Amino acid sequence: MRILITGGAGFIGSNLVDYFLERGHQVVCLDNFATGKRENLTEALKHPGFTLMEGDIRNADDCRRAVEGCEYVLHQAALGSVPRSIKDPVTTNEVNVGGFVNMLVAARDAGVKRFVYAASSSTYGDSETLPKVEEVIGNPLSPYAISKYVNELYAHVFARVYGMECVGLRYFNVFGKRQDPFGAYAAVIPLWVKQMINLERPVINGQGEYSRDFTYVANVIEANAKAMLANSGNLVNKDGFRSQVFNVAYGGNTTLNALFDTLKGNLSRFNPAIATLEPQYGPYRSGDIPHSLASIEKARQLLGYNPQYSAEKGFELACEWYWQNLK
């Protein structure tokens, strides 16, 4: 198969690139390197089946060139981070909404078989329902959350109006190798791991009782592969069109205090001095939801999704990777 992966130089995108190249497929990567890194593609660039297109999803021509001849699109390109979107909602909207529509149009015009895109658990907003089920969402709490929900609305409309097949994967706090620990908007796990390796005390926002359904990246790769090849009949929504969204998680939750203790325990195997670190506590972060726990039954039933990596196993693997790559 020939697959376009947008944002393929990013954390999740580059893991997808490697997965499909290893299985003998042709992969096109479209990335503008705003947040992606060329070093994430070091091995891919040696592969004869890999094509790198440096371009921007905000440019419709770039989208059209990238999707040409591709059978599937795995759309990962986006500006992540709730705090970033609060600081700069305009750019978040331009990339996450404008760029998304550009890719949908390009995929439609190229006649791709299926458009699979990265949705987000932030769509659940202020809904207090646990576990989170796809059909029950609340009010969004950030510009980022709005942008990802708008993606779902556009995908449903393109399925209805143009007959496209669209699958949204609501990622829950994905982590793992290549997630960037640097920069102002680094996610909590790589940020804390980097700080602990440097014997610095991480800051926990709030009292540490907030919890997340941390999801190891290998589970996300599996979900994309299953979504790409799922039976079309399993994508039919209540309105009769082929557009569905699925939670992608492990289906467990970890408090921030427990996360700190687990990461510290894993890393102290490499340096016993890390075991002496204690966290600092800071203010709650604007736009954060208190608790996140996914029901993955819909993805199990309709996609055959069966995540193999618990959060605990993922924490162990991630700590090993960062220890080898950040020292």
The stretches in the chain having pLDDT less than 50 are none
Q: pLDDT digits over 260-317, tens only? A: 999 999 999 999 999 999 999 999 887 777 889 999 999 999 999 999 999 999 999 9
Asked if residue 206 lies in contact with residue 247, where contact means CB atoms within 8 angstroms, the answer is no
Residue 240 resides in a domain = yes
Residue 321 resides in a domain = no
Beta strands in the chain (DSSP E): 2-6, 26-31, 50-54, 72-75, 114-120, 166-171, 174-175, 203-205, 211-212, 215-216, 243-248, 254-255, 280-282
Residue 35 resides in a domain = yes
Give the per-residue pLDDT at 209.
94
Residues in contact with 119: Cβ distance below 8 Å, sequence separation at least 6, in sequence order: 148, 151, 152, 168, 169, 170, 171, 245
Residue 288 resides in a domain = no
Give the Cα separation of 272 and 158 in Å (integer): 54
Give the per-residue pLDDT at 162.
98
Give the Cα separation of 249 and 126 in Å (integer): 19
Give the Cα separation of 251 and 170 in Å (integer): 13
Give the per-residue pLDDT at 181.
95
Q: For residue 58, what are the domain limits?
A: 2-172+217-251+295-309
Residue 260 resides in a domain = no
Cβ neighbours, 10 Å, residue 49 = 15
72, 124, 144, 154: the active-site residue: 144
Give the per-residue pLDDT at 282.
93
Give the per-residue pLDDT at 178.
96
Residue 153 resides in a domain = yes
Give the Cα separation of 244 and 242 in Å (integer): 7
Confirm whether 144 is a catalytic residue: yes
Residue 150 resides in a domain = yes
- Amino acid at position 127, single letter: S
CATH (domain of 121): 3.40.50.720
Number of domains into which the chain is organized: 1
Give the per-residue pLDDT at 281.
96
